Copies of this chain bind each other. A is one copy, B any other.
């Protein structure tokens, strides 16, 4: 019988894994055309408001396929109280057997998203970062910093949140980290003071003013994963030297690139794909003057990679306990 694992069991084995490496390999396979990833499935709910995304697919020369279900619901149309949930299902190709169900309560989605941010930073961040800007003081705003720790040297951080309570909680949570964190309620402070910025909010209106973004800045925009959500002024993409999509086909329909294309300030031909950036140094940042954007909408190959890694670690653990 198939195996079901809860969040505690998943977190236990995650410690020993290298998700950044797994996710990076996934993006390369994706951009090399070695995956089959159908368009994202989507259910929209009005009352109570929310959405469910189904991301699924497989790598051609691989034994598995993945189906990932992630939901986000607001308690009521007016509340900011948000619940995310979901699970990852790993199946065996050729039989359709359910290999494992990872009841991760959305944690693995957060992990693979934060890992993608680290991958983008590895190839696109300026060498010298004055200050890291984090827009959004939620779970992903925290996890981005955790995953960036092994990639960048800078330890000075400015975080923007919706209110002081959220920021105080953020500071408290991040206290054990090595980062020196200041907080702000003005996104202008981030645009002005940081040359490496991550946006991680569910905003539907641009948060960063284009004119204040400094030349040479890198921005990873990861909050926007639907056709409606939008964190960046499209002019930021217009002025950028390098615009990277995690998936070009997906970014035509969702996220920041989608909005910039619709606004007519970006051309499809001007976009490069993260998996290609990883393997081709010419597509990476080559000077401190370049302004770079990574638009991450979340691709099923990330879910596949993290599900496989966790599954294999769980099997190994079970084996070692059995002997």
Q: Which residues of B contact A69 (CB under 8 A)?
A: 67, 89, 91
| Contacting residues of chain A (125-174) with chain B, CB-CB under 8 angstroms | none
A75 to chain B, nearest CB (A): 8
| Contacting residues of chain A (68-111) with chain B, CB-CB under 8 angstroms | 69, 71-73, 75, 83-87, 89, 91, 93-98, 101, 103
Closest to A72 in B: B96
A37 to chain B, nearest CB (A): 9
A168 to chain B, nearest CB (A): 27
In terms of DSSP, what is the predominant structure of the interface of chain A? strand
Closest to A58 in B: B43
Bound together, the chains give a CA A97 to CA B38 distance in angstroms of: 25
Known pairs A38-B43, A58-B43, A65-B43; A84 contacts B96 (CB<8 A): yes
Q: Which residues of B contact A65 (CB under 8 A)?
A: 43, 45, 52
A56 to chain B, nearest CB (A): 6
B43 and A94 contact, CB distance less than 8 A: no
Q: A322 on the interface (CB 8 Å rule)?
A: no
Q: From the candidates B43, B54, B91, name the one contacting A71 in the complex (CB within 8 A).
A: B91
Q: A209 on the interface (CB 8 Å rule)?
A: no
A71 and B96 contact, CB distance less than 8 A: yes
Closest to A67 in B: B69
Interface residues on A, range: 35 or more
Bound together, the chains give a CA A133 to CA B87 distance in angstroms of: 43
Q: Which residues of B contact A58 (CB under 8 A)?
A: 43, 45
A42 and B48 contact, CB distance less than 8 A: no
Q: Which residues of B contact A93 (CB under 8 A)?
A: 45, 48, 50, 73
Number of copies: 2
A54 and B67 contact, CB distance less than 8 A: yes
Bound together, the chains give a CA A42 to CA B41 distance in angstroms of: 10
Bound together, the chains give a CA A6 to CA B67 distance in angstroms of: 20
Q: From the candidates B38, B42, B97, name the one contacting A85 in the complex (CB within 8 A).
A: B97
A94 and B41 contact, CB distance less than 8 A: no
B56 and A2 contact, CB distance less than 8 A: no
B73 and A57 contact, CB distance less than 8 A: no
Known pairs A73-B96, A94-B48; A2 contacts B54 (CB<8 A): no
Bound together, the chains give a CA A190 to CA B65 distance in angstroms of: 40
Q: A36 on the interface (CB 8 Å rule)?
A: yes
A248 to chain B, nearest CB (A): 20
Bound together, the chains give a CA A103 to CA B1 distance in angstroms of: 10
Binary per-residue interface labels of chain A (112-128) against chain B in the complex, 1 for a CB within 8 Å, 0 otherwise: 00000000000000000
Bound together, the chains give a CA A214 to CA B69 distance in angstroms of: 48
A180 to chain B, nearest CB (A): 36
Q: Which residues of B contact A75 (CB under 8 A)?
A: 94
Chain A interface residues toward B at CB < 8 A = 1-2, 4, 6, 36, 38, 41-45, 48, 50, 52, 54, 56-58, 65, 67, 69, 71-73, 75, 83-87, 89, 91, 93-98, 101, 103
